[in-house]
Amino acid sequence: MENWLKTVNIRLLREEDLPELEWGGEYKRYRRIYREIYRNSQKGLSIPLIAETAAEGIVGQVFLSQKEPNLNYGIRTRYYFLSSFRVRAEFRDHGVGSLLLQECEKQARLHRIRDIYLNCERTNNRARWFYQEHGFKVVRIDEGTWTYVNDEGFVVTEPENAYLMKKTLSWILFK
């Protein structure tokens, strides 16, 4: 493990972190989503995790949102949906993403939620390999669109062409 990696701290998102999640404007359009995730975390409905170093500040993030069973999808228990997973480019491939994922699984166990789902763009081979290395499996292809309200209050519809991936945590580690 590299020295700087030992100094990476994984913690919950704070309100004052919100501007930094926009990465200097690149993700400004998701401002309202980030705020909603933060608010949901205050109600116990989401777990937004931040990776930071003392020298560099926020270097990565991942959000877990708690979802109720969805019989349309054949999902019978509560589950977490993982989203907005990213590590700043210059910090990738050193283990930060793995640390964030480990903490997600720890949180899921703490909350006795066994299944974690996520969408991975079909063109994002690197991320798919990463998830598969960490035990996620492709469940099906999700094609269509998704809609959100951007920072200016406009409804934006973006195409989606993703693999729905799932990891079921083992029962043994729940004891």
Ligand X SMILES: CC(C)(COP(=O)(O)OP(=O)(O)OC[C@H]1O[C@@H](n2cnc3c(N)ncnc32)[C@H](O)[C@@H]1OP(=O)(O)O)[C@@H](O)C(=O)NCCC(=O)NCCS
Look up residue 62 and give its two tokens. Answer: 């991942």
Task: Indicate whether 130 belongs to the interface with ligand X (CB under 6 A).
Answer: yes
Region of 28-36, 79-87, 103-111, 144-152 interacting with ligand X (CB under 6 A):
79-87
Size of the site for ligand X (CB under 6 A): 18
CB nearer to ligand X: pick between 6 and 43: 6
Q: Report, in Å, the least distance between residue 160 CB and ligand X.
A: 12
C-alpha neighbours within 13 Å on the C-beta side of residue 110: 9
Task: Indicate whether 94 belongs to the interface with ligand X (CB under 6 A).
Answer: yes
Task: Indicate whether 38 belongs to the interface with ligand X (CB under 6 A).
Answer: no
72 contact partners, CB below 8 Å, separation of at least 6: none
Task: Indicate whether 23 belongs to the interface with ligand X (CB under 6 A).
Answer: no
Nearest residue to ligand X on Cβ basis = 97
Task: Indicate whether 122 belongs to the interface with ligand X (CB under 6 A).
Answer: no
Distance CA 140, CA 6 (A): 37
Sign of the Cα pseudo-torsion (142, 84, 81, 36, in order): negative
Q: Report, in Å, the least distance between residue 122 CB and ligand X.
A: 11
Is there a contact between 156 and 145 (Cβ–Cβ < 8 Å)? no
